[in-house]
Amino acid sequence: MADPRGFLTHRERQERPSRPVPVRIMDFKDVYERQDPSVVRTQASRCMDCGVPFCHTGCPLGNLIPEWNDLVRQGRMEEAAARLHSTNNFPEVTGRICPAPCESSCVLGINQPAVTIKQVEVSIAETVFENGWLEPVIPQRLNGHTVAVVGSGPAGLAAAQQLTRAGFTVAVYERDDRIGGLLRYGIPDFKMEKDILDRRLEQMEAEGTRFRTGVDVGTDISWDQLRRGYDAVIVATGAQRPRELELPGRTLDGIHPAMEYLVQSNRVVAGDEVPDQITAEGRHVVVLGGGDTGADCIGTAHRQGAASVTTLAIGRKPPCQRPANEPWPMTPHVFEVSTADAEGGTRTYLASTVEFLGDEHGRVRALKVAETEYRADGSRGPIPGTEHEIPADLVLLALGFTGVEETGLQEQLGLSDHRGLLARDETYMTQVPGVFACGDAGRGASLVVWAIAEGRACASAVDRHLEGWTRLPSPVRPQ
């Protein structure tokens, strides 16, 4: 058994082993390898079980982190799994791709490196699957109520699983051909291989959740029809309207929103044929934007054999302005950066694109960029005289998302817009009785852990609305 006061004896944080860069960029498989279980136990023993565990509040799901760290330390993995699943529907996902706000809140992190909470989490989740402990949780009785969930990202899936287990008859509608939302077609396999998602979906199907793929609600079936056909509707359609960059030359060939590029790549990795695929092979790639989406473009471009990959990003406003050489995404205090950062390419922060330059065939050939300055009044702009050209024959716009896409919700249901997102009250209900909204669609582009937390809370609100009371947990309030 590992030492219960491991933080006194094991001061160093041991990271998950990752495959060497030259090897891993040859394929799309997971960057990380499995950590030795004895190392995981020692790392779990670094948890101090501090009186006021801030990691609880750092995690939107309220994960019972000190409890499962202690169970792992003692080798009681099945009990650790039960504690973990009591607050999180998909720990195998968050254990891989969450930026771990819990670790940033870890009290040990005040004067030592934080506990490797995310590693312990993924280790528990994998032990569960390996040992076949993940049984379907089939409700003892059906309550007679029906719920349609629109959108199969982590928010919709979490809501669907909670409600199915509580006895509701739940159908998930998804416009894509496969279930999973951004977990399927946004996030590349090198961050999370898709069989991780498939085995969870098998469990959900066995529990009774029904999946309807290839149905674009608002077009193939109206929102109004759906509302009339079910006792409640949950809108979990995400917030995937891309931010644009209206600059001279934007319409040149070879300039694409990042999601167009990532979806195609994910499809090819899944074995689909994608005619005229946008590929980085042999190209000079410029990625505009330095967040998670930009990092996923960088990793994908390297794996496709790009000739060069350059990232340009603006950086943050003073006083927390990003230095020109700071990698991103980067989790504060824990210093975990995107794995793409180690895989090569050039990053320039505080750089603004001024114009896209094309060749005689109407294809992009370069970007005109300038250094950026923040002015005394808080505005920012290019510094005159610093303009220069960067060669580019593929440009990917990873500039974030501005809100929900146009799906007919306003015209067909009369739902109002709240800064490009769906307005809802403190019970996740929109202005239309019986229609709820959760995940990125209500909160704005965020993180998987928030989507799961909102899905769970929304399920609780639907249960209370239809049954008059609820036992389902509600970890977060809508913003």
Binding site for ligand FAD (CB under 6 A): 97-98, 150-156, 173-176, 181-182, 186-187, 191, 216-218, 236-238, 240, 262, 292-293, 296, 407, 439-441, 446-449, 451
User: Residue 387 or 405: which CB sits closer to ligand FAD?
Assistant: 405
Asked whether the beta carbons of 368 and 355 are under 8 A apart, the reply is yes
Q: How far is the CB of 296 from ligand FAD (least distance, A)?
A: 5
User: Residue 240 or 353: which CB sits closer to ligand FAD?
Assistant: 240
Ranges assigned E (strand) in 201-277: 210-213, 232-235, 241-242, 255-257
User: Residue 71 or 226: which CB sits closer to ligand FAD?
Assistant: 226
Specify which residues 336 forms β-bridges with. 331
Q: Which residues of 268-302 are buried (b: 16+ CB within 10 A; e: fewer)?
A: ebeeeeeeeebbbeebbbbbbbbbbbbbbbbbbbb
Q: What is the dihedral of CA 53, 59, 64, 68, to 10 degrees?
A: -100
* Cα 4 from Cα 73, distance rounded (Å): 7
Q: What is the distance of C-alpha 267 from the center of its chain?
A: 18
Q: How far is the CB of 314 from ligand FAD (least distance, A)?
A: 18
Q: How far is the CB of 403 from ligand FAD (least distance, A)?
A: 12
User: Residue 112 or 402: which CB sits closer to ligand FAD?
Assistant: 402
Q: How far is the CB of 262 from ligand FAD (least distance, A)?
A: 5
Backbone angles phi, psi at 171, to 5 degrees: -120, 130
Tokens 């005289």 correspond to: 385
Q: What is the DSSP string of 374-437?
A: E-TTS-EEEPTT--EEEE-SEEEE---EEE----SHHHHH-PPEETTEE---TTSB-SSTTEEE
CA distances from 334 to 37, 60, 108, 112, 337 (A): 22, 18, 11, 10, 9
Q: How far is the CB of 397 from ligand FAD (least distance, A)?
A: 12
User: Residue 58 or 238: which CB sits closer to ligand FAD?
Assistant: 238
User: Residue 220 or 253: which CB sits closer to ligand FAD?
Assistant: 220
User: Residue 98 or 466: which CB sits closer to ligand FAD?
Assistant: 98
Asked whether the beta carbons of 436 and 232 are under 8 A apart, the reply is yes
User: Residue 53 or 181: which CB sits closer to ligand FAD?
Assistant: 181
Q: How far is the CB of 460 from ligand FAD (least distance, A)?
A: 17
User: Residue 210 or 380: which CB sits closer to ligand FAD?
Assistant: 210
Q: What is the distance of C-alpha 238 from the center of its chain?
A: 11
The pair of structure tokens assigned to 80 is 């650790």
Q: How far is the CB of 17 from ligand FAD (least distance, A)?
A: 19
Q: How far is the CB of 96 from ligand FAD (least distance, A)?
A: 8
User: Residue 99 or 315: which CB sits closer to ligand FAD?
Assistant: 99
User: Residue 120 or 159: which CB sits closer to ligand FAD?
Assistant: 159
The pair of structure tokens assigned to 81 is 């799994």
CA distances from 368 to 192, 249, 281, 382, 389 (A): 35, 10, 23, 11, 5
Which of 47, 61, 64, 39 lies closest to 106 in space, CA to CA? 47
User: Residue 107 or 148: which CB sits closer to ligand FAD?
Assistant: 148
Q: How far is the CB of 35 from ligand FAD (least distance, A)?
A: 19
Q: How far is the CB of 474 from ligand FAD (least distance, A)?
A: 17
Peptide bond preceding 319: is omega within 30 degrees of 0, i.e. cis? yes
CA distances from 478 to 439, 455, 458, 462 (A): 9, 11, 9, 14
- How, if at all, do strands 394-397 and 284-288 pair? parallel
Sheet holding 146-150, edge to edge: 210-213, 169-174, 146-150, 232-235, 435-437
Tokens 């609305």 correspond to: 465
Which of 7, 34, 420 lies closest to 241 in space, CA to CA? 420
Q: How far is the CB of 436 from ligand FAD (least distance, A)?
A: 13
Q: How far is the CB of 187 from ligand FAD (least distance, A)?
A: 5
